[in-house]
Amino acid sequence: MLMKSISLPLLFLTLPLALPVLAQSEGEGVGLVVVSPGEVEANDEQVERLLRQMADAGDAQAQFRLAKVYFVRAVRDRDKDMMHEVVYLLEQSSEQEYGEALAFLGYLHMSGTIVAKNRSRAVYLWKRASRQGVALAQYNLGVYYASKRTRADDRVAMEFYDAAYRAGLVAAAQNIEYMQRQGRAGAMRERIVVARPGEQSYQGGVSLASTRQE
């Protein structure tokens, strides 16, 4: 694998520890990743040792959880070796089709963080994660296709945003509304109505899944 120096222009670690960290660049179709700095504090040495043991034994979930802990710490300390360990753990977890690891690894490839930028690889990983219902992967695919700004790609983007929204990712609803305001949902028979907080999803409207024109 091609490795390169740490480059994290899209990551912001200034939020309170209780909040997730969001990194995205929709204009370039990079997408979004969520990590929690609080995970570092939440994992004491004993828990981390247990995660390490489980990860070394091949547990995909432990590999992913440990990768997130290491990622936050590596960003904080600018630790190249730990960054490389993050990639290794994510790849090990992804080989077992662990959806969240696939989504995270896809973001690294799309943004060129740690590894060489490879958009086709990122899309491939996100699609694998999307098939497992991972909302972040679906959202990121929406960002990717929306960045192409063609009618056909807009349609694909809206379908992925729809799936991410139905999986509970609010940011996808905001992007759906944005594309509607731009008149970029013209391929649909009806306008999607995004529910407000507390309302039933798609109340008074239709979802993209039910309006595809095969």
Cβ proximity of 156 and 140 under 8 Å: no
- Geometric angle at alpha carbon 87, from 1 and 32, rounded to 5°: 115
Q: Which of 109, 150, 102 is nearest to 3 (CA)?
A: 109
Could you read off the pLDDT of 34-76 as tens digits, one per residue? Answer: 555 445 444 578 888 999 999 999 999 999 999 999 998 998 8
pLDDT range class, residue 26, cuts 50, 70, 90: very low
Is the distance from CB of 162 to CB of 207 less than 8 angstroms?
Answer: yes
Please write the tens of the pLDDT for every residue from 124-154: 999 999 999 999 999 999 999 999 989 999 9
**pLDDT tens across 8-18, in order?**
333 322 222 22
**Domain boundaries of the chain, sorted by first residue:** 1-134, 148-214
CATH class of this structure's domain 1-134: mainly alpha
